[in-house]
Structure 1
Amino acid sequence: MRVAIPNFLRWYPVTSFLLMGVFFSIIVVIYDYYKVDNYIPVTVTGVHHMGGDYRIAAFYVDKYSGGTVGESGGGGSMVCCLMLPRKWYPGLKANVRWEVRHIVRSSNPALPETEEVAGLYHAQVPVEAYDEPENFWVHFFPQGGVRIVVSAFGPYGKQHPIQFGDTHATHQATTGFAVKALFSPDEIARLIDEDARNKEKFGDWR
């Protein structure tokens, strides 16, 4: 399936809208959900290692949107916020869902670029060990691979845990399983109900 790249629309607009509503309602009372002594809010950013003919059209961490990752792969927008434990512990994981798009470029410069879906994936991904709770980086690899690292340094920094061009980086990746949709109808229905309850309790942030 090929579709023209839209400049003003995003895929999963309804789902993303609902997720944002739920997310910001939770932020209003975030300290009621977490003990601030144990958790800290951090930004979430995606990075991909699949080359300039691919991009991450959408990804979600624990059902909340992490934004997109462009064809350059060097890090998408920084999305706030995810509550991260101040201290790492064995078994710490996050649920990641993502859509990979293949960018199709015509040899005719007069024709627009198009995209085709290259894969939809889910994975329970270990959060790799960290000393301090810093920015939350989700790295995407070919063949549905994904890793999560926590670092104050961006993906181009020499101190970032995963370096571009490191052929061994993918060896530690978790392989996601292919799915037909990022969210099932039941999950979307639950998100709608949760969004409605939060609007009733906290008001409509929009």
Structure 2
Amino acid sequence: MRFQHLFLCVVIPVLGACSATLPNNASVPIDKRSTLVTVPMTPVSIGCVGHEGVSYIHAFYVKEPFSEYMAGGISCGGTSASGYILPTQWQPGMKVKVRWNRPIKGEDNWIEKTTTIRRYERAGTLTVHFFANDEVRVVSSARYAPESPMHPLPKSVTIAPPEEE
């Protein structure tokens, strides 16, 4: 009987500890001095929008700001739940590499550019905006889809706005 009580007194706290979730933090260098700082991160969905004057985007990828992982999707027009990791709050200097394939006459035509993620208050769906002349902008919005006039960069915009620093 004592063994059963002792067993329960040991097993219950151990199982309780196993069910606890760890905070979603990562130690990442956020400046060129490579100082490690804990930055709260959150997984977000990723999608893309082709603005006026953009031909078909076959595939696209976006490199995470603080890792080498690239996430993406196939064609524009929908959201891909790809588990992209983004800081919960915007950090200065967040640049990302964007790669996309815009086939020409049936042949692959990969384009790659680096751009900043526009300032956001709260992390949300990451949307890659493709504009004419191979211009690209990246925004995160926790509330509004690109079709909404309240989105940080609405689909109705036809010319790529200047990059933010």
Tell me the TM-score normalised to structure 1 length: 0.53
From 106, 120, 142, give the equivalent of 1:130.
Answer: 120
Shift of 1:78: 1.9
User: Considering only CA atoms, is the larger Rg found in Structure 1 or Structure 2?
Assistant: 2
| SS in structure 1 at match of 2:140 | strand
Matched residues, number: 127
Runs of 5+ consecutive residues of structure 1 not aligned to the other structure: 1-30, 103-114, 175-206
* Cα distance between partner residues in 1 of 2:128 and 2:115: 10
Residue 69 (structure 1) aligned with residue 75 (structure 2): yes
1:165 aligns to what?
A: 156
Shift of 1:67: 0.9
Task: Verify the 8 A CA contact 1:48 1:69 in the aligned structure 2.
Answer: no
Task: Verify the 8 A CA contact 1:68 1:77 in the aligned structure 2.
Answer: no
Hey, which of these two has a bigger chunk of helix by percent?
1
From 19, 26, 48, give the equivalent of 1:34.
Answer: 26
* Cα distance between partner residues in 2 of 1:123 and 1:58: 14
1:111 aligns to what?
A: none
Shift of 1:84: 0.6
Residue by residue over 1:82-124, the C-alpha shift from the partner in whole angstroms, topping out at 9 and shown as x without a partner, is 111112122111111101135xxxxxxxxxxxx5458421111
1:55 aligns to what?
A: 56
**Counterpart amino acid of residue 34 in structure 1:** A
1:99 aligns to what?
A: 101
- The RMSD of aligned alpha carbons is 2.9
Give 4+ residue runs of structure 1 displaced > 4 Å after superposition: none
Task: Verify the 8 A CA contact 2:39 2:87 in the aligned structure 1.
Answer: no
1:90 aligns to what?
A: 92
Shift of 1:55: 1.5
Shift of 1:165: 2.9
| SS in structure 2 at match of 1:38 | strand
* Cα distance between partner residues in 2 of 1:164 and 1:84: 22
| SS in structure 2 at match of 1:130 | coil
| SS in structure 1 at match of 2:85 | strand
| SS in structure 2 at match of 1:101 | coil
Shift of 1:54: 2.4
| SS in structure 1 at match of 2:153 | coil
Shift of 1:173: 5.7
